[in-house]
Structure formats: C-alpha cells, structure tokens
Structure 1
Amino acid sequence: MPNTLNPLELIARRWQPSARFVQRAALATVVMAVVIVVTGGAVRLSDSGLGCSTWPQCTPGSLTPTAAMGVHGLIEFGNRLLTYVLCAVVGVFIIAARARQPRRRSLTKLGWAQFWIILANAPVGGITVLTGLNPYIVAAHFLLSTALLTVAVLSWQRACEGDEEPRDLVARPVRQLTWLLVVAAGALTVVGTLVTGSGPHAGDAHQVHRIRVNWQEITQLHVDLAYIVVGLSVALWFTLRAVKAPAAPRKAVVQLFAVLALQGVFGYVQYFLGLPALIVGLHMFGSTLVWIAVLRVFLTLRERGPLPAVPGPADRHEVPEPQPAV
C-alpha cells in the first residue's frame, strides 16, 4: 500500500517558498494580530459589544445580523468575520513554514501555537457576549489576543534568523535588565485591562457591569507603570552604550522610545479631553506597538546565526513516488 502523505507534505513537495515569503507571511500574522486588537477595541468604543445578541449565531435563528440590529450588529459581526481572515493568514504562514526547506519544526510549531490561541479565544469571545460583556471575561479576551501577538512577533523573529543555539550579545546583568522591562510592560498591559474594565467605555449603551475599583486610582497605577517602563528603557539605553552593545539592540531601544513617546501623547490627550472614543482607540493601537517594541528589544539581545541554506538536490531525502503495478 503506498504511503499516505498529509496535505502539508504534498504542498511541500510541489512548492518551495523563498525565505522572504516566509518572513512576510510571519509579519502578516503580526499585522493581523494588531488589527484584531484594534477592531475589538472599536467594537467596544462604538457600543457594539452586544450588537450580536448571542453566540455562535449573531441573533437567535440567524447567523448574520438583521436589518433591525442596525450598525451595531454589522460592527460586531464584522469583527467576528475578521477571525476567519486571521485564521487564513496564520494558515498561509504555517503552510509556507512547512514547505520551506530545510524543514524548521520550531517555526511550524509557532504557527500552530497561533492557531490554537485563536481557537481558544473564539469561545472566550462568545462567553463575553453570553455574559453581557462581563469585564473580567473581556479582559481575558484581550489578554489572549496579546498572547497571540506575542507568539506572532516571536514567529516573525524566528523567520528572520537561524536555528543555532542562542548566543547572548550582552552580559547577563543587561539581559536581566531587559527582563525587568518585559515584566513591567506586561504589568502595564494587565493594569490597562483593569482601567478598561472600570472606565466609562463599557462596550454597550445599556448598563453593563464594571470592575469595582476606583477608576482614577487604577489609572494612576497605570501611569506609574508607564513611567517605570520609560525609566527602564532609558537605563537600558545608557547600559547598552556603556557596554558597547551591537547596533541592533541599541536601534531597537530607540524605536521603543519613539513608540513610548507616541503612546504618551495618546494617553495624556485622551485623559484631558475626557476619553473621546477615537483617541482611546489610538491608545489601544499604541499599546500593541509598545508591546511589539519591547519584545523586539528583548529578542535583539541574542543571535542564532544565519538562516539555514536551502539544500541542493543531492542533499534532499525525498520519498520516491509510488510506481503503478504492472
């Protein structure tokens, strides 16, 4: 009986994507992860969180929004449809990473990790609707999206480097300082979800349960953590200059400064203008850029060698095609 090949193996036999294609596919997953966060914020900021009244259907008896649901139904349903686009983009990355020779199992595993995070987050989004936008479930939904963004950024980085054992470009104390930066930025993101869950933008025009904390106090904690992230970034920049670190990590820190400055502008403008929806949305977009910049700083402090070379015909170990019976 001839060997049965899975679809990914069949594609790999007939298509050899370039390294640049795999890298662009990985970058596309990063972009889509950001889009999902921003459009999810748009659903909440437009009071469309319950535009579809149930899940997995949009309304009882209909998978799609009806005319009676108006624009809120369209916004919520449109965000649901974007999940399929996200799955398609991640699918392209998985296929490209699998087809690329030599096969890099670590890269395909990261692609599948993204897929499983999406699969896990879909019912969490459904529970968000079924519980009437419970703020704790909303926070979990956002944090899972942040986890997806994290894996996407790591996939992008791994698509651009080799598979050698990681080699630190700086001393251990500098790496530890970077770890502190990552932890502080992660805490900033988590506290940001508490600000969202206790703030005025509940996601629906009707009364929605909020997290029972003092909104101004939790906002002040959020601001304090932002200053800690800025302070750690400044300390890291001076440290990298002092130890004469390579150009890549120093450039990544400068890019982080630029993103933090932009995010600071969004933050103060939204506060002094009374939290207008548009600026709050830009602040959410800025939060994804900050997290990406922090991760890139962390990842540029080690190297894993060049990309593996594509093997020649003599180096490929291909299973011979089954011959027809005589």
Structure 2
Amino acid sequence: MPNTLNPLELIARHWQPSARFVRRAALATVVMAVIIVVTGGAVRLTESGLGCSTWPKCTPDSLTPTAAMGINGLIEFGNRMLTYVLCAVIGLFIIAARARAPRRRALTRLGWAQFWIVMGNAVWGGIVVLTGLNPYLVAAHFLLTSALLTVAVLSWQRAKEGDEEPRDVVARPVRQLSWLLVVATGALTVIGTVVTGTGPHAGDAHKVHRIPLNWQEVTQLHVDFVYVVVGLSVALWFALRAVKAPAAARRTALELLGCIALQGVIGYVQYFSGLPEIVVGLHMLGSTLVWIAVLRVALALRERGPLQVDDPAAPAVDAAPDAQLASAASR
C-alpha cells in the first residue's frame, strides 16, 4: 500500500515559496500578534470584557452577539473573531516554512508553537470570561499573548538566517548585558499587568474584582523598573559602540532607545492626564514595540550563518524589504 502524504507534504511538492515570502509571512505573524494585543486592550478600555457573557458562545442561547448587547457585544465578539485571522496568518507561515526547500524543521516548529499558544490562550480567554474577568487570569491572558509575540519575533529572525550553531558577534559580557535587558523588560511587563489589575480600567462597567494592592505604589514600582530598563539600554548602546559592534547591532540598539523614549512620553501623559482610554491604548501598543525592539537587539548580537538558497548566485539574505516593513509597522 503506498504511503499517504499529509496535506503539508502535498503542498510542498507543488509549491516552492521564495525565502522572501517565508520572511514576510513570519513578519505578518509579528504584526498580527501586535494587533491582537491592541484589540484586546480595546476590549478592556471600552468596558467590553463581558460584552459576550459566556464562552464559547456569546450568550447561552446565541453564538453571535444580539442587538440587545449593543456595541460592547460587537467589540468582544469581534476580538474573538480576530483569533481566526491570526490562526490563518500563522497557518500561512507554517505552510510556507514547510514548503520551502531545503526543509527547516526549526522554523516549522516555531510556527506550530505559535499556533498552540493561540489555542491555549483562546481557552484561557474563555476562562477569563467565565470567571467574571478575574484580574489574575486577565494578567496571565496578556502574558500568554506576550509569549506569542516573542515566538513570532524569533520566527521572523530565524526566517532571515541560516541554521548553523549561533556565534557571538560581540564579547560575551556584552551579550550577557543584552539578556539582562531582556529579563528586566520582561519583569517590567509583568509589573505592568499588575498595574492594570489594580487600576481603574477593569474591563467591564459593572463591579469587577481588582488586585488588592495600592495602585499608586505599584505604579511607582513600574516606573522604577522603567529606569532600570532605560539604564541597561543606554549602557548596552555605549558598550556596543565601545567594542565596535556591527552596524546592524548598533542600529537596533538605537531603535530600542527611540521606542523607549516614545513609550516614556506616553506613560507620563497617561499618568498625569488621569489614564484616558486612548492614551492607555497607545501605551499598550508601545509596550509591544519596546518588547520587539529588546528581542531584536539581543538576537542581533549573534549570528547563525547565511540563509541557504537554491540558487548559489542568489543573495543569501535580503533583509532590507523586511526592515522597511517593520519600520512602517512601528509607526
């Protein structure tokens, strides 16, 4: 009996996407992860967290929102539907990575990791609704989305480079400084979720349980960690200049400083203006851009060789279009 080919194998036999297509598909997963964060914030900031009163249906008797639920039901249901768009984009990346020759198992594994994070977070989001927006579960919901963004950025980076063992392009202490920056920024993100859990934007117009901590004290802790991240970022930039790191690495560090400066301005505006919804939403967008920039700096300090291509005469890596797309997405 002949072996039965799975659908991905069949596609790979009839379609050979270019390396650029795979990279752009990977970048699309990054963009979609950012959109999911922003739209999830919109659900909270418009008090639509319980716009759909149950899960997986929107109401006990309807899969979709009813007219009586108003705009809040539409916003919450729309955010749920966006998950399918995200899955479609991730699916495109998985198919393209699998069809691309030579086959790169590490790349397809990263694609599947994104898919399973989305599935797990969708179930977790349902639990959040069923528990009436428990603030601890809401915080974990956001952190799972941050994990998705992390894997998406790693997928984008791996789509642009080869599969050799990673080699440092700077002295090891500088690399260690970059990873310390990643840890500090991760801690900043976690504290930010606690600030949200204690703050006024509970996600629904009705009374919702909040984390029993002083909002202003937690906010001050968050600000303290901002200074830590800023200090580490500046130190890393000077270190890269001192060791004459490659221009690309120094450029990513400078981009990070720009993102942090913009995020700092937004943070102070939202604090001193009483946390207006639109500014809080921009702050959430800024947090994703800072996290992307931090990861890009850390990943720029090692190399894995050129990307293998079918045509030896073709350039190994053509990252310029991707850089332009990323720059446009960050504006």
* Short-chain TM bin: over 0.9
- Aligned pairs for 1:41-190 within 5 A: 41-190=41-190
The CA distance in 2 between the partners of 1:236 and 1:242, in whole Å, is 10
Read off the aligned partner of 1:182 and give its amino acid letter. V
Partner of 1:208: 208
Which sections of structure 2, spanning at least 5 residues, go unmatched?
Answer: 313-331
Q: Which amino acid aligns with 1:309?
A: V
Q: Does 1:265 align with 2:271?
A: no
Contact 1:177 1:236 in 2 (8 A): yes
1:162 positional shift: 0.6
The unaligned stretches of length 5 or more in structure 1 are 313-326
Measured in 2, the distance between the counterparts of 1:191 and 1:147 equals 15
Deviation at 1:311, TM superposition (A): 7.1
The aligned runs of 1:17-28 (5 Å cut-off) are: 17-28=17-28
Give the Cα–Cα distance (whole angstroms) in 1 for the partners of residues 118 and 265 of structure 2: 31
Q: Which residue pairs with 1:29 in the alignment? A: 29
User: Letter of the aligned partner of 1:62 in structure 2?
Assistant: S
Kindly provide the amino acid, as one letter, of the partner of residue 124 in structure 1. Answer: W
Secondary structure, aligned partner of 2:145: helix
**Equivalents in 2 of 1:34, 1:310: separation in Å?**
33
CA distance in 2, matches of 1:121, 1:35: 15
Correspondence list, 1:225-244, <5 A: 225-244=225-244
Q: Tell me the TM-score normalized by structure 2.
A: 0.93
Percent same amino acid among aligned pairs? 80
Post-superposition CA distance 1:76-111 (Å, at most 9, x none): 000000000000000000000000000000000000
Separation in 1 of the partners of 2:13 and 2:230? 49
Q: Paired residue for 1:306?
A: 306
**In structure 2, distance between residues paired with 1:84 and 1:309:** 32
Any idea what the Cα deviations from partners look like across 1:9-42, whole Å, max 9, x if unmatched?
0000000000000000000000000000000000
On the 8 A contact 1:252/1:297 being kept in 2, the answer is yes
Partner Cα distance (1:296, 1:88) in 2: 25
CA distance in 2, matches of 1:273, 1:100: 51
TM-score under structure 1 normalisation? 0.95
1:172, CA displacement in angstroms?
Answer: 1.0
CA–CA separation in structure 1 for the residues paired with 2:181 and 2:309: 35
Count of aligned pairs between the two proteins = 312
Decide whether the 8 Å contact of 1:101 with 1:311 is kept in 2.
Answer: no
Secondary structure of the equivalent of 1:164? coil
Q: After TM superposition, which residue ranges in structure 1, 4 or more long, deviate above 4 angstroms?
A: none
**How many Å separate the matches in 2 of 1:221 and 1:22?**
41
Matching residue's letter, 1:189? T
Match of 1:315 in 2: none
Query: In the TM superposition, what whole-angstrom CA distance separates every residue of 1:160-194 from its partner, at most 9, and x where no partner exists?
Result: 00111111001111111111100100000000000
Rounded to whole Å, the distance in 2 between the matches of 1:64 and 1:78 is 10
Partners of 2:309 and 2:75 in 1: CA distance: 46
Deviation at 1:257, TM superposition (A): 0.6
1:2: which partner in 2? Answer: 2
Asked if structure 2 preserves the Cα contact closer than 8 Å seen for 1:102 and 1:311, the reply is no
> Is residue 9 of structure 2 the alignment partner of residue 14 of structure 1?
no
Cα distance per residue 1:238-268 (max 9 Å; x no partner): 1111111111110000000110011011100
SS at match of 2:133: coil
* Distance in 2 (alpha carbons) for counterparts of 1:118 and 1:167: 31
Structure-1 separation of matches of 2:155 and 2:310: 19
- CA distance in 2 between counterparts of 1:253 and 1:229 reads 12
Q: Which residue is equivalent to 1:256?
A: 256
**Following the alignment from structure 1 to structure 2, what is the Cα–Cα distance between the partners of residues 309 and 208?**
55
Partner of 2:199: 199
Query: Which one-letter code corresponds to 1:134 in the other structure?
Result: N
Partners of 1:266 and 1:283 within 8 A in 2: yes
Most deviating of 263-272 and 302-311: 302-311
